[in-house]
A and B are shown apart, each in its own frame.
Chain A
């Protein structure tokens, strides 16, 4: 795959996702938009460039630079598979399943804000709790942080993804794993900031 082709695919996907109503979809988007200056780990040969396990999935969180108080605070969460094989990722405790736990630490001007959402006790995951990410592909989801965090006060907010991924499976036959077999994997999503202005 040449760089030119990669761009074409990304453009194509942008066009597709603009009109889609699904909350998330797999996109063949080898280069997430916010990271164009990073040394691009080209999708076709990721193994040579990223031998470390933790680097096999890239995570990008994005929020608008500013939001008016009282309005939704849309957060986009994207995982990209940098390996040459499909990965099966348990969606739990990531925005890929919505906000079903305190997935983010949110601070306003340095002080942690109250989490108002739910916390869920779960049994064994089912297969549909996993999302398949093809080699070089991304999955993403958008959630409204203001639904689960106190974000009505104007201020400078910092949003950091709390967790890792609770299970990442490389062999489809092993999906789903039982609770006792889950193999969590750290993932690094750089923290983001947004300014909430008075309405």
Chain B
């Protein structure tokens, strides 16, 4: 669902079900609170609503979640699970024709929460926002879906919300037309430039990404041309990929040929929903979707650890491109890796990024 509808469509949506949550009074009470889930007294009401009950394969599926403090005292909620439009975790339990639907989104295990991980809701206060369903759950088959509120699975510290919410059945019923997996779906919505957006990128974010992609293409083209033009070690090659050999330079050439081609031709989707301190992340098995995060927005367009370099870095991760890993982060560690293990340097995304950024410029 696009950003423009956020905040208003829920008004016309059908408000379905209300469940009571036991909220954590304070971080230190969390562990004991989870023990008492069964008799959670309900300080926060959760309601789910949708603006449309029937969704075609082309439409994103989101559910408006409203959390209201119905108690007479302030309560604290873990902010990871408050939908703010940038939420990137699944909040729901989803079924299709009565069968549980697989969660396919990111799985995040967090450290025990600290005080700053909570937001306080005053008595009577509500927070609401859209939380994504498509891209997070397997909606590949058409059918009658139900969505109920439940924070993600397995031993997490916020079990108090999960279990309490599951006690009540606040369901939204939807008919959803089956759609491809996220990467296939992305190819269907590709723009003429081979770039499309998801996760509510603003227009200024889109223009910033588009400029970064143009520079990333230049970086990759230049890197590829450079590598094809050398027949012996150079300072630039040796700095980032270590000892020169025909085998190793062959690997570097093939990586940059693939990076260049993917940046030029692939149906790239850049997702703006991440709100973490990272630069960006990808799922290497799911080309060509790149999630950009907070550090990306503060990075320069070009230069060391730039937006353009980040796109080269992320593109190198995809299994169908160069299948790189993150063995080391940062220029200093990347240079050390080139010395200690050229093989690992050729398998490290940052080495590719720094080779492409070539800042400061090396001969």
Contacts and interface: CB of A to CB of B under 8 A. Distances in A.
Contact of A101 (B31, B159, B325): B325
A180 B331 contact: yes
Given A122-B278, A122-B329, A116 B283 contact: yes
Contacts of B35: 19, 21
A177 B275 CA distance: 22
B108 interface: yes
Given A122-B278, A144-B107, A148-B107, A21 B285 contact: no
A184 B107 contact: no
Nearest to B284: A119
B159 A120 contact: no
B114 A122 contact: no
Contacts of A147: 107
B155 A23 contact: yes
A115 B326 CA distance: 13
A121 B109 contact: no
B72 interface: no
State the main secondary structure of chain B at its contact with A: loop
Contact of A182 (B110, B114, B291, B329): B329
B263 interface: no
Nearest to B104: A116
Contacts of B112: 22-25
A123 B279 contact: yes
A122 B160 CA distance: 31
* Cβ-closest 9 pairs across A and B: A98-B109, A179-B330, A21-B34, A121-B279, A147-B107, A120-B281, A123-B295, A180-B332, A22-B112
B279 A122 contact: yes
A123 B109 contact: no
Chain A, interface SS category: loop
A193 interface: no
B140 to A, nearest CB: 16
B288 to A, nearest CB: 14
Contacts of A23: 109-112, 155-157
Contact of B333 (A24, A131, A184): A184
Nearest to A181: B332
Interface string B108-133: 11111010000000000000000000
Nearest to A142: B155
B313 interface: yes
26 contacts: A21-B31, A23-B156, A72-B154, A93-B326, A95-B109, A98-B107, A100-B108, A100-B281, A102-B325, A118-B283, A119-B317, A120-B281, A121-B281, A121-B314, A121-B350, A121-B353, A123-B295, A142-B155, A144-B153, A166-B329, A178-B330, A179-B330, A179-B332, A180-B330, A182-B333, A184-B333
A153 B283 CA distance: 21
Contact of A21 (B30, B329, B350, B353): B30
